[in-house]
Amino acid sequence: MSRLILAEGLELSGGDRGMVAVVAVVALAALAVGYVLLREVLAAGQGTSKMQDIAKAVQEGAAAYLNRQFRTLVAFVVLVFLLLFLLPADDIGERIGRSLFFVVGAVFSASIGYLGMWLSTRANVRVAAAANETDGRGRERAMKIAFRTGGVVGMTTVGLGLFGAALVVLVYAGQAPKVLEGFGFGAALLAMFMRVGGGIFTKAADVGADLVGKVEQNIPEDDPRNAATIADNVGDNVGDCAGMAADLFESYAVTLVAALILGTAAFGVQGLLFPLIVPAIGVITAVIGVYITNARPGENGLVAINRSFYISAIISAVLSTIAAFTYLPGTFSALTNGQDVEGNPALIAAVAVIIGIVLAGIILWLTGYFTGTEHRPVRDVGKSSLTGAATVILGGISVGFESAVYTAIVIGGAVYAAFLLSGSVTVALFAVALAGTGLLTTVGVIVAMDTFGPVSDNAQGIAEMSGDVHGEGARTLTELDAVGNTTKAITKGIAIATAVLAATALFGSYTDAIGAALRKAGETLSLVDFRVFSPNILVGVVIGAGVVFFFSGLAVNAVSRAAGAVVFEVRRQFRDNPGIMDGTTRPEYGKVVDICTKDSLRELATPGLLAVLAPIAVGFGLGVGPLAGYLAGAIAAGSLMAIFLANSGGAWDNAKKLVEDGHHGGKGSEAHAATVIGDTVGDPFKDTAGPAINPLIKVMNLVSVLIAPAIVTLSVGADASTGLRMTIALLAVAIIVAAVVVAKRRSTAIAESSPAEEPDDARV
């Protein structure tokens, strides 16, 4: 199979620059549509004064948390900025651009996350108020507000992602792929931190609230007497809204980066520009998808959302096919560096994009089947509650394992189908990247689907805490909350698929980076060094898979530790203030918010250091071949683990909703208590560890792409230095070990909150 070499010194013509400028204008138009939707959401009524007071408390807590998180991350961003500047590059302009756009990517990711939080904390009370309207259209209005809130974040995601990529191409032309590595890395790194931190916060509060409120005190989920309720609602916004918005933005950015890098290598200038055209089409379909989402009378909300998604996907497929055959030539002889490749570039690109779109549709259906309340898997988990919590947990684990296999096969099939489109490795990898770009043509609708979940959850919480929503309004919010659980699970599945597609495509960028560095040293790339049956490569595979398990364990343990602190604090308040239960004393909500904030922020460092330093340790210590194996192991284990965690958690959550709707004894029954335990176990699975694996995979891939030239430089040629390589590797290992040891020995809020309840030897 032939390989193409990255086109160096690539220049854009006036027409090319005009096309990129048009893409940038489309990106700005997406932001304008987002602003129109924002005004529409904020124009809705806010309900009673009590509902507004609760919403304001959630707003203040969420803003305080994210502000503290961003202050914590500034030092980390500055450090990575300097390290990127020190890495090898072709010239000083490339170094500056790569480091500068790392910051831009990080800022964009943080901004989208903050917007998701800011708007969601204002839309939740509006959804609750709309559901409570008595003119017969409350359900329709509530669903529209919740979905269009997500539409704002979705349009901002596609707008900023596309604008950032177009800006880099306009400024750097042929050097754009290298600079875009920094842009994607910044987006992925911030998303991972927001996912981990927000996930720890939200699930610590949620688990603590459920264990004390539902199980011990037998009070409703969002009862205002529970001191953890405000923190729980804050967590929905900083974890699901802010964290997932940033996660989907980095998926969008990193997939674009991979497509642009490989497109330049495969198709020259047209390969650099076509990946910008496809998401520009996605802007159009996102607008259509958001505006046509309306539930018909008596229709399940999930049916309406799925219908909009499928319509958007079909429009994307048609327009992308037209664009491919209009813009790309029918033979490779018309393309830069493409004379030795057979096939039809337009056909390859069109089919690749369609593969990605079809993949999104299949995952939507598959995830909905395993996590929806109307399907057998969740109903079986709900039925198992009749025999206790243990069988509920076993049932959910079984659903997670089974769904992971089917989803992984579907994703693997899509990757392989795209790969088979060309006999050239580079063109085939570009096809994989285009499949990811095609999948993300629907990202505006995907983000709207995801944000719909926590907004609906918060709306129900505000309604229950205020006591001002009854009858049909309460039933509407319960329905929307259940639909939101499924849409969140679906978007997690799609995010996992984009992670696999982007990471697979970045393999091509990784080998190109190694090949370019070897050519500078007068060496050639030998595929013998990447044989999967070589022991050193297998060691890399095992380490990569192990890091995914270790990362997941750190995340779940962090939630367990913080949730334990919340449990002790809520118990203390019930014990020390008897007036809380009879409603005469207001709980100290702020103390629980503070516990969650402190614990989640101090747990950020260890998983972050693991993600960045583990590839460095493997690459410099074992070489570029084992590092390739490391990435393969991380992608394989990461995709399976993320799907398992997301779907098992989603099944447990909706099994609980099923029982709360009156099945198997309803609320307050032993079956309900069993499903609450299952949901509690699933909370850190689906909302902390599982979603954080997506940016983890891409962070590790981008770190590998960035350090590959430095590894080669220190391995061969005049600048080779085994001693320096080993020193870097050992230093990275030492920092990881130190961070883990500190995390394990760290005193927790549990010890601080309840010294009388722990033996002396437990407080180290």
527: pLDDT strictly greater than 70: no
CB 536 within 8 Å of CB 530: no
Cα distance between residue 171 and residue 454, in whole Å: 39
pLDDT at 749 (0 to 100): 43
DSSP character at residue 572: H
Residue 63 lies in a domain: yes
pLDDT at 37 (0 to 100): 92
Strand, helix or coil at 90? coil
Strand, helix or coil at 353? helix
Tens of pLDDT, residues 459-516: 888 888 888 888 888 888 888 887 887 787 788 788 888 888 888 877 777 777 787 7
The arithmetic mean of pLDDT across residues 365-387, rounded, is: 89
Concatenated DSSP letters of 480-530: HHHHHHHHHHHHHHHHHHHHHHHHHHHHHHHHHHHHHHHHHTT----GGGG
Lowest mean pLDDT among 24-28, 456-460, 491-495, 677-681: 491-495
Burial grade of 661 (CB within 10 A; 0-12, 13-18, 19 or more): middle
The rounded Cα 563 to chain-centroid distance in angstroms is 22
pLDDT at 619 (0 to 100): 92
CB 528 within 8 Å of CB 668: no
CB 132 within 8 Å of CB 468: yes
Q: How many other β-carbons are positioned within 10 Å of the β-carbon of residue 357?
A: 26
457: pLDDT strictly greater than 80: yes
User: What is the percentage of the chain residues whose pLDDT exceeds 70?
Assistant: 93
Of residues 709, 651, 653, 650, the one with CA closest to residue 676: 653
Of residues 486, 450, 496, 497, the one with CA closest to residue 371: 486
Could you tell me the pLDDT band of residue 761, with boundaries at 50, 70 and 90?
very low
pTM for the full predicted model: 0.83
Lowest mean pLDDT among 284-288, 531-535, 572-576, 729-733: 531-535
CB 430 within 8 Å of CB 265: yes
Sign of CA dihedral 610, 616, 617, 618: positive
pLDDT at 341 (0 to 100): 65
pLDDT at 10 (0 to 100): 60
Burial grade of 582 (CB within 10 A; 0-12, 13-18, 19 or more): exposed
pLDDT at 174 (0 to 100): 67
Structure tokens, 126:
């509006």
Residue identified by tokens 């057998």 is 376
89: pLDDT strictly greater than 60: yes
Buried b (16+ CB within 10 A) or exposed e, 421-453: bbebbbbbbbbbbbbbbbbbbbbbbbbbbbbbb
29: pLDDT strictly greater than 90: yes
Tens of pLDDT, residues 69-78: 888 888 888 8
The arithmetic mean of pLDDT across residues 713-717, rounded, is: 80
CB 435 within 8 Å of CB 316: no
Cα distance between residue 349 and residue 268, in whole Å: 14
25: pLDDT strictly greater than 90: yes
Instruction: Give the residue numbers spanning the domain of 168.
Output: 22-293+301-519+530-762
**pLDDT averaged over every residue in the chain:** 83
Buried b (16+ CB within 10 A) or exposed e, 159-177: bbbbbbbbbbbbebbbbbb
CB 45 within 8 Å of CB 218: no
Concatenated DSSP letters of 265-313: HHHTHHHHHHHHHHHHHHHHHHHHHHHT--PPTT--HHHHHHHHHHHHH
Q: Output phi, psi for 379, to 5 deg.
A: -65, -35
Of residues 522, 444, 487, 480, the one with CA closest to residue 715: 522
pLDDT at 292 (0 to 100): 87
Rg (the chain; Cα; Å): 25
Tens of pLDDT, residues 203-233: 888 888 878 887 788 887 677 888 888 888 7
pLDDT at 356 (0 to 100): 92
The interaxial angle of helices 624-660 and 690-715, nearest 10 deg, is: 180
Strand, helix or coil at 737? helix
pLDDT at 316 (0 to 100): 92
pLDDT at 317 (0 to 100): 93
Could you tell me the pLDDT band of residue 31, with boundaries at 50, 70 and 90?
very high
Please give the biggest Cα pair distance in the chain.
Answer: 81
Distances (CA, A) of 175 to 17, 169, 274, 334: 14, 8, 17, 22
Strand, helix or coil at 470? coil
Strand (E) or helix (H) holding 708:
helix 690-715
pLDDT at 756 (0 to 100): 40
pLDDT at 758 (0 to 100): 42
Cα distance between residue 548 and residue 400, in whole Å: 17
Q: How many CA atoms lie within 13 A of 93 on its CB side?
A: 7
Domain count, the chain: 1
pLDDT at 3 (0 to 100): 37
Strand, helix or coil at 422? coil
Cα distance between residue 748 and residue 238, in whole Å: 22
Distances (CA, A) of 268 to 91, 258, 261, 323, 333: 21, 14, 10, 17, 12
Cα distance between residue 653 and residue 670, in whole Å: 16
Cα distance between residue 326 and residue 377, in whole Å: 45
Tens of pLDDT, residues 241-287: 777 777 778 777 788 878 887 887 777 788 878 888 998 998 888 88
pLDDT at 6 (0 to 100): 39
Q: How many other β-carbons are positioned within 10 Å of the β-carbon of residue 718?
A: 7
Cα distance between residue 253 and residue 166, in whole Å: 11
* HEC letters along 381-417: HHHHHHHCHHHHHHHHHHHHHHHHHHHHHHHHHHHHH
Cα distance between residue 660 and residue 469, in whole Å: 18
Tens of pLDDT, residues 123-145: 989 999 988 887 778 888 888 89
Q: Output phi, psi for 343, to 5 deg.
A: 130, 180
pLDDT at 2 (0 to 100): 35
Structure tokens, 689:
């560890």
Cα distance between residue 188 and residue 181, in whole Å: 11
Rounded to 5°, angle at Cα 675 from 669 and 680:
130
pLDDT at 5 (0 to 100): 37
Lowest mean pLDDT among 330-339, 544-553, 630-639, 681-690: 330-339
Question: Which runs of consecutive H residues, i.e. helices, occur in 521-623?
Answer: 535-576, 589-602, 605-622
Residue 17 lies in a domain: no
Could you tell me the pLDDT band of residue 380, with boundaries at 50, 70 and 90?
very high
Cα distance between the two ends of the chain: 60
Could you tell me the pLDDT band of residue 763, with boundaries at 50, 70 and 90?
very low
Torsion on CA atoms 198, 200, 202, 203, rounded to nearest 10: 150
pLDDT at 339 (0 to 100): 47
Cα distance between residue 159 and residue 152, in whole Å: 10
